[in-house]
Amino acid sequence: MKTILYVVERDFKYFFRYKWWIAGMISMNLADLLIMAVVYTGMVSQEITQQYVSYFVFFAPGLTITALFAAAFMIGREINMEVRREISHYMLSLPIKRWELAIGRVLAGGFRGLVYMTPLLITTITITHVFTNVVPSPLQLLSIVAALLFISIGTSGLSISLAISTTSFEKYITARSVVYYVLFFCSTVFYPIDLIQSALPQTLALVAQYNPLSAGADLSRAFLLGYPPFSAFMFLDVVAFGLVFALVAMLAYMKVTQK
């Protein structure tokens, strides 16, 4: 148990060595939000966002997800580098159990995402409160944070699985982009499901419907905007995503030794 904490601690500390990068990224994300506020709200048809006050208010919870995704995905890039430079040999030679090492790294990626998106989540809650007057209950807030943590862990797991199964950095970056576009494009992070269903082919719309990122964004909206209505499926979806990819990443990480 302690061992897992130490593994998490190491990755966590390395994350904050990039503090200027992080500060830069957070400001950029906040700037995005502002641009959305000014530009898109006027551009996106009112019809589409009528349940959400405005597109800006609709998008705010989605932005938290994009930020979280970016931060949690970073661990994969580092592990990919470690494997290429064979620093992974050091990690694998340590007198600790492999599964502890693996789970520690997955969790570290997850916590990084959560910490990174906290300022954005606070901003989002402030914005949605100003526009809708909704005040989420502590339990609802806790559910939002828990759901985001599961998404973050799933993302970390996904990035680690990709990092380990792609040999070169270029391939990793390519895989990352593909995953990024599929997951975000076919989700309700940027657009409401009604719009997606009317604009995209049915299979892609189906992806959007079951996409854990959609579930995470909509769960936040349910509690922060009051729409769409909360359903247990949203929570199950993110939990499943978190657990499945944590497991896949663990197996992949443990398999690195099969050379």
Q: How many CA atoms lie within 13 A of 6 on its CB side?
A: 10
Choose between 91 and 186: whose C-beta lies nearer to other proteins: 91
Min dist CB 13 to other proteins, Å, is: 7
Min dist CB 256 to other proteins, Å, is: 9
Choose between 92 and 243: whose C-beta lies nearer to other proteins: 92
Residue 150 is encoded by which pair of tokens? 């599961």
Choose between 160 and 217: whose C-beta lies nearer to other proteins: 160
Residue 51 is encoded by which pair of tokens? 């349940």
Min dist CB 111 to other proteins, Å, is: 17
Choose between 43 and 259: whose C-beta lies nearer to other proteins: 259
Choose between 21 and 233: whose C-beta lies nearer to other proteins: 21
Q: CB of 2 within 8 A of CB of 103?
A: no
Choose between 56 and 172: whose C-beta lies nearer to other proteins: 172
Secondary structure of residue 160 in the 3-state scheme: helix
Min dist CB 99 to other proteins, Å, is: 8
Choose between 24 and 42: whose C-beta lies nearer to other proteins: 24
Min dist CB 80 to other proteins, Å, is: 13
Min dist CB 127 to other proteins, Å, is: 35
Min dist CB 12 to other proteins, Å, is: 11
What is the distance between the alpha carbons of residues 242 and 152, in angstroms, rounded to a whole number?
Answer: 7
- Contacting positions for other proteins (CB under 8 A): 3, 6-7, 9-10, 13-14, 17, 82, 86-87, 89-90, 92-98, 257-259
- Please write down the long-range contacts of 117-122, taking CB distance under 8 Å and 24 or more positions apart: 117/64, 117/67, 117/68, 117/71, 117/148, 117/152, 119/26, 120/26, 120/29, 120/30, 120/33, 120/63, 120/64, 120/67, 121/64, 121/145, 121/148
What is the distance between the alpha carbons of residues 152 and 245, in angstroms, rounded to a whole number?
Answer: 10
**Residues near 100 by beta carbon (within 8 Å), at least 6 away in sequence:** 3, 4, 7
Query: Rg of the chain over CA atoms, in angstroms?
Result: 19
